[in-house]
C-alpha cells in the first residue's frame, strides 16, 4: 500500500497539469466566466457608475431588458440602476453554442430603446459580441464606453 500512494500522487499531478495546460481549445477569460463574474469584472472601477442591482432575465421580462424574444437555452442577467430616474442598463446574454450570436446582437441593437424609462433616456447604446456572449449597455456616454472597453478586455 505504501508503494501505491506515491504512484497515485504522481498520477494526480500529471492529470492536474494536463487539465490546466493551455492548448488550442483554451478560450479567452470571458468564455469561462459566469455572467455574474463578467459583470464583476466589467463594472469594477467604472467612473460614475450609479448604484445598481441585478435582475435575472426571464421569458416574462426579456423584452424589457433585451428588446427581443426568448432564445431557447440562453441565459441572461441585467444590471440596472436602482433609481429609475437614472438611465443606466447593462445586460449580458449568453446564447447556446450553434446560435448565431452576431444576428441576435444585430436584432437587439436594432430594437434597443434608450428611452425605455419614459422620463429619461440613455446618452449612448452599445452592443458587443464575443463568442456566444452579448453585451447591451445603455447609459451615460463615458460609463457605456468604459463598460464596453472592459468587456472587450475579457476577450483579449
30-77 pLDDT, tens digit each: 888 999 999 999 999 999 999 999 999 999 999 999 999 999 999 999
Examine residue 4 and state whether it is found in any structural domain, yes or no. Answer: no
Into how many domains does the chain fold?
Answer: 1
Residue showing cell 468564455: 31
Predicted model pTM: 0.82
pLDDT at 142 over 90: yes
Identify whether the C-beta of residue 102 lies closer than 8 Å to the C-beta of residue 133: no
State the residue range of the domain holding 88: 27-153
Residue at 147 is within a domain:
yes
15 pLDDT higher than 60: no
Q: Tell me what pLDDT residue 26 has.
A: 55
Domain annotation covers residue 8 = no
Which segments of the chain does DSSP mark as H helices, in order? Answer: 4-20, 29-32, 35-43, 62-66, 101-111, 141-153
89-94 and 133-139: which strand pairing?
A: antiparallel
Which residues are within 8 A (CB) of 16 and not within 5 positions of it... i.e. 6 or more apart?
none
Amino acid at each position: 500500500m505504501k508503494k501505491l500512494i506515491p504512484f497515485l500522487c504522481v498520477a494526480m499531478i500529471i492529470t492536474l497539469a494536463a487539465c490546466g495546460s493551455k492548448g488550442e481549445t483554451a478560450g479567452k477569460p470571458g468564455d469561462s466566466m459566469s455572467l455574474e463574474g463578467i459583470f464583476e469584472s466589467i463594472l469594477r472601477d467604472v467612473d460614475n457608475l450609479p448604484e445598481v442591482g441585478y435582475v435575472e432575465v426571464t421569458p416574462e421580462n426579456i423584452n424589457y431588458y433585451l428588446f427581443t424574444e426568448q432564445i431557447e437555452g440562453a441565459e441572461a442577467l441585467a444590471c440596472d440602476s436602482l433609481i429609475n430616474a437614472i438611465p443606466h442598463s447593462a445586460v449580458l446574454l449568453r446564447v447556446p453554442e450553434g446560435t448565431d450570436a452576431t444576428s441576435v446582437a444585430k436584432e437587439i441593437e436594432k430594437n434597443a430603446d434608450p428611452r425605455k424609462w419614459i422620463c429619461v433616456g440613455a446618452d449612448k447604446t452599445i452592443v458587443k459580441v464575443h463568442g456566444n456572449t452579448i453585451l447591451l449597455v445603455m447609459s451615460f456616454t463615458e460609463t457605456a464606453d468604459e463598460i464596453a472597453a472592459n468587456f472587450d478586455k475579457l476577450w483579449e
